[in-house]
Structure 1
């Protein structure tokens, strides 16, 4: 059942085999035996991909619950031990994972030698249960759901631009000035901006000769002097401290209470491998994360709705 679930979440037998250190032939043989035992076909196979049959879909939904219960039982037995074992599947946002998780994985793995990590970097909003993840790291204002979330750190977002851009276009003196007279850039899923300031919530639609769905493209254009952007301090903290970027209109904050969260399926017993990873991240970041160092003057400024 575990092999079947991994094939579905990985999308192919070869990918599932790599994750479980099994050959594609062994994976295929185990799936075939499972189908023979059940007396029905679970997967439709082609040379390029697999797809679940109707029976396979129903079986998969029940298998996920069974495997979660098995993991809960194992976690209950080993709950008093800090030892984490097995493979941990984690989904994280692309830029954040590259900047603030990948550099620390060596220490985490050395502290947990019986644990391996499958780290997927994606800006897609993954289905944690359906896609077979143990947890996801999300930067969001979380809505109510059946998932459990632990807040790892605040997320502050600032309006900023490069000195080169400001030398050419001037410093915006108001939200109206920013909206009317400046190049403002954002990824398509972050347009328009909703900002909280002295007069309440204000909306700014971005104006730029560029459209992109990539936050990393926005960041590079910001540093290249293309325009003004609304960026998280975890993303541009070093550039702000070094003077490569300058904070603008500091009395305005992003209106949503966005935070950094670890999100995982609701379970009575949290598996040790998930618990130690979440604790590790919480210890790295905390209520005053390292990326905000040196920005205390801005963070202490009053606003009508402080983000994060």
Structure 2
């Protein structure tokens, strides 16, 4: 049987992306870490890692093995918590990936309450507008705003997401208010993520609109600031621009059309038989915080 410690070493190497970093975290020398990875590969009869002078990466066999190792270690953690009655006394590090704007606006302000309730738990929050590789990046979970119907990951819906077309009053005063969906072709539009299509639902059902844009950026926050400044029309979530709508800094455009209702706010994590207590507690916390009618819609 494979040594459980070797699995922990292997998992830490992948999570940190470096044998030397993993060695420091485990209190071992890099040579010992390398030796234990080699012992694991010899036992399995297959190469798990591709090593170069600059980085390491998983082989196809290594990827599948890592996903299963994570599940095994998570199961052990869950079993220990259950047996010791410490299911609410979590410790260690919770690594989370989240969208940049949402993380700043609706996760960061609420971390204190969660962390005060679990003082032995450290949180590593990574914000990015791109979908991160949860397994490869060593994340415990990711918060995503997307249609996850085709995802292979386990997902728990946290809240609905309502997205509307909007513009500043100054832009409307200068360029006029669109009256039909076809009128958008005559307007400056601000598609995010390099001209991603707008998936809308309207009076005649669903449609995909790929608007032309004068601004190209991979930052959702840049689009937000651009629409508020009066540069054009954008499709924005109410969690993102709710205060500006209430203050009159933005107005809704073509209210008969909104973003696809298949898009929602979800917590996603690798498929595991046992969900670690730290992940379960954080997901439960967010689900209660946001709810079926999130506070930004009230």
Gaps of 5+ in 2: 1-6
Picking from 96, 117, 136, the partner of 1:111 is 117
TM-score by length of 1: 0.82
SS of the residue corresponding to residue 241 of structure 2 reads helix
* Displacement after TM superposition at 1:122 (Å): 2.0
SS of the residue corresponding to residue 150 of structure 1 reads strand
SS of the residue corresponding to residue 108 of structure 2 reads helix
Quickly say closer, same or farther: Cα 1:17–1:88, change in 2 above 3 A.
farther
Aligned-residue Cα RMSD (Å) equals: 2.7
Give the aligned partner of residue 276 of structure 1: 281
Aligned counterparts of 1:181 and 1:135: Cα–Cα separation in 2? 42
Aligned counterparts of 1:148 and 1:6: Cα–Cα separation in 2? 22
* Displacement after TM superposition at 1:56 (Å): 5.7
> Contact 1:162 / 1:224 at 8 angstroms: preserved in 2?
yes
> Contact 1:75 / 1:270 at 8 angstroms: preserved in 2?
no
SS of the residue corresponding to residue 260 of structure 1 reads strand
The yes-or-no answer on 1:139 pairing with 2:145 is yes
Give the aligned partner of residue 31 of structure 1: 33
Give the aligned partner of residue 247 of structure 1: 252
Give the aligned partner of residue 158 of structure 1: 164
> Contact 1:3 / 1:27 at 8 angstroms: preserved in 2?
no
Which range moves more in the overlay, 122-131 or 267-276? 122-131
Picking from 218, 222, 236, the partner of 1:217 is 222
Which range moves more in the overlay, 107-116 or 28-37? 28-37
Picking from 191, 194, 203, the partner of 2:196 is 191
Quickly say closer, same or farther: Cα 1:228–1:45, change in 2 above 3 A.
same
Aligned counterparts of 2:65 and 2:204: Cα–Cα separation in 1? 55
Aligned counterparts of 1:61 and 1:148: Cα–Cα separation in 2? 13
TM-score by length of 2: 0.85
Give the aligned partner of residue 90 of structure 1: 96
> Contact 2:78 / 2:277 at 8 angstroms: preserved in 1?
no
> Contact 1:159 / 1:229 at 8 angstroms: preserved in 2?
yes
Aligned counterparts of 1:274 and 1:150: Cα–Cα separation in 2? 12
Deviation track 1:14-40 (CA, whole Å, cap 9, x = no partner) reads 55467x4x56xx351441341464475
* Displacement after TM superposition at 1:156 (Å): 0.2
> Contact 1:151 / 1:259 at 8 angstroms: preserved in 2?
yes
Q: Across the two proteins, how many residue pairs are aligned to each other?
A: 288
Aligned counterparts of 1:79 and 1:149: Cα–Cα separation in 2? 27
Aligned counterparts of 2:110 and 2:29: Cα–Cα separation in 1? 33
